[in-house]
Amino acid sequence: MRHANFITLYVGLWILGGYIVGSLARNWVRPDPDRAESGESAIRQLVVEGLVAAIWAALTYAFIDAVAPGTDDFRNTSAIGFLSAKALTVWESAALWSGLATVLGSVAPFPSRGRFGSHGLAGATALLVAYSPITLLISAAVVFAATNMTRSLRTGLLVGYLSIAGTEWVLSMTRIRLGIGLINGPETSLWAAGLAALLIARWSHDSSINSLD
């Protein structure tokens, strides 16, 4: 089953596996609801979730690259951005989406139906560090600025999450080449929008994020 025709099957399985792995990792490190969460436990959760997202995306990339390194009968660009000069290779595309699936698993793990989900920040940060570090830096600056201006962490996070999608789109439209991360293009913009939507959905259901006043 090394033929390129099986790529769709492989990518689907890796994305599904990403959700399962993210869920298992979250269930493993989730805090005891009957006890106050310690700082050490919180750090452990962040580290595990970040590593799971980064490692799973890297494994996906390596697997797809190994089974279909590019042949005459295999389009080596992602179908999502195929008509763009800035389209990702199919293994980069698979890594992005399977990594996002692990974040979904940590935010809405089964079988708890998301009751013990994390904020998703650790996994999202790990993926942005690997694939779009400039977007991460700009979004972090936006969160800091918006939080200080409004004195509301909820508002700061909302604006910061929205800036993830906006920043990626601007980088794509301006054709900026920074030499780090993936080439900014239509698919990275779509992926960033999906990541932002996931974080906003989690943020909107979190009553623990309050005003700084």
Q: Which residue has the higher pLDDT, 213 or 151?
A: 151
CB 49 within 8 A of CB 118: yes
Please provide the DSSP assignment of 7-52 as one string: HHHHHHHHHHHHHHHHHHHHHHHPPPTTSPPPHHHHHHHHHHHHHH
Is the model more confident about 195 or about 112?
Answer: 195
Distance, in Å, from the CA atom of 14 to the CA atom of 64, rounded to the nearest integer, reads 10
For the segment 18-25, the average pLDDT, to the nearest whole number, is: 94
Task: Report how far residue 148's alpha carbon sits from residue 150's, in angstroms, rounded to the nearest whole number.
Answer: 6
Q: Could you tell me the pLDDT band of residue 28, with boundaries at 50, 70 and 90?
A: confident
- Closest Cα to residue 96, out of 50, 138, 60, 136? 60
Entry pTM: 0.87
CA-based nearest residue to 48, from 30, 14, 32, 25: 25
Instruction: Determine the average pLDDT of the residues in 12-34.
Output: 84
Residue 36, pLDDT above cutoff 60: no
Q: Are 88 and 94 in contact (CB under 8 A)?
A: no
